[in-house]
């Protein structure tokens, strides 16, 4: 994609998100680009994936569910009870069919940005981690350490983020998506 097209995509995403979500999207986009530089991954694909990762976040839960049903996208039991989780799968669908992305790695980075998955690509890891550490985030006392770690050892950062997420979910009594647990089990040593 050319730079002009990235600017065009950014403008479209801006229209589809509220102000706070768009600020977060920009944070993820430039953090993903920086991680891509650090690990020798294509920066433009990181930017596109960052811009698109939450593209379905501002749909209502009803719309997320109906879009997934209409497009025969599987909804598991955790997602049925916590429809916000579907913004990842619904986002991958919109990235392809509304925003015209054909790059399967970018689509997977959007699809798995919330739960991760076993055997993630570099781009998938970068978007997953950028989502957690972007500068606008302020949800964990460990962020300074995790931000440093992300630029030193991507896989270690991934495991630490998954561990913290699972701990947080258990603490709040939130239901854990089987994929989040599977991803942690796959990457932990």
Q: Which residues bind ligand DGI (CB under 6 A)?
A: 24, 54, 57, 78, 82, 113-115, 131, 165, 169, 174-177, 180
Judged by beta carbon, residue 5 or residue 188, the one nearer ligand DGI is 188
Cα 32 → chain centroid: 10
Judged by beta carbon, residue 159 or residue 176, the one nearer ligand DGI is 176
What is the 3-class SS of 104-171, one letter each residue? HHHHHHHHCCCCCCCCCCHHHHHHHHHHHHCCCCCCCCCHHHHHHHHCCCHHHHHHHHHHHHHHHHHH
Report the C-alpha gap between 13 and 9 in whole angstroms.
Answer: 6
CB of 84 to ligand DGI, least distance (A): 7
- First vs last Cα of the chain: how many Å apart? 37
Which of Fe ion, ligand DGI, none is residue 160 near (CB under 5 to 8 Å by kind)?
none
CB of 22 to Fe ion, least distance (A): 11
Judged by beta carbon, residue 47 or residue 131, the one nearer ligand DGI is 131
What are 181's two structure tokens?
A: 């647990």
Identify the residue among 54, 96, 124, 177 touching Fe ion (CB under 5 A).
54
Report the C-alpha gap between 92 and 187 in whole angstroms.
Answer: 23
Contact in structure between 25 and 13 (CB atoms under 8 Å): yes
| Residue 177 found at the interface with Fe ion (CB under 5 A) | no
Which of ligand DGI, Fe ion, none is residue 6 near (CB under 5 to 8 Å by kind)?
none
Report the C-alpha gap between 32 and 110 in whole angstroms.
Answer: 12
CB of 186 to ligand DGI, least distance (A): 14
Identify the residue among 47, 79, 124, 131 touching Fe ion (CB under 5 A).
131
Binding residues vs Fe ion (CB under 5 A): 54, 131
């Amino acid at each position: 994609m050319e730079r002009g097209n990235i600017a065009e995509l950014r403008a479209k995403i801006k229209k589809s998100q509220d102000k706070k979500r768009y600020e977060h999207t920009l944070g993820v986009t430039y953090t993903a680009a920086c991680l891509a530089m650090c690990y020798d991954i294509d920066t433009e694909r990181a930017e596109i994936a960052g811009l698109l990762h939450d593209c379905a976040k501002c749909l209502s839960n009803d719309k997320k569910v109906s879009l997934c049903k209409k497009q025969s996208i599987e909804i598991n039991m955790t997602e049925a009870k916590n429809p916000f989780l579907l913004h990842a799968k619904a986002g991958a669908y919109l990235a392809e069919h509304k925003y015209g992305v054909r790059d399967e790695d970018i689509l997977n980075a959007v699809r798995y940005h919330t739960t991760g998955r076993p055997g993630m690509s570099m781009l998938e890891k970068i978007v997953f981690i950028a989502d957690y550490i972007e500068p606008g985030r302020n949800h964990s006392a460990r962020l300074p350490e995790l931000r440093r770690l992300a630029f030193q050892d991507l896989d270690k950062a991934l495991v630490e983020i998954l561990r913290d997420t699972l701990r947080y979910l258990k603490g709040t009594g939130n239901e854990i998506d089987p994929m989040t647990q599977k991803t942690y089990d796959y990457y932990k040593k």
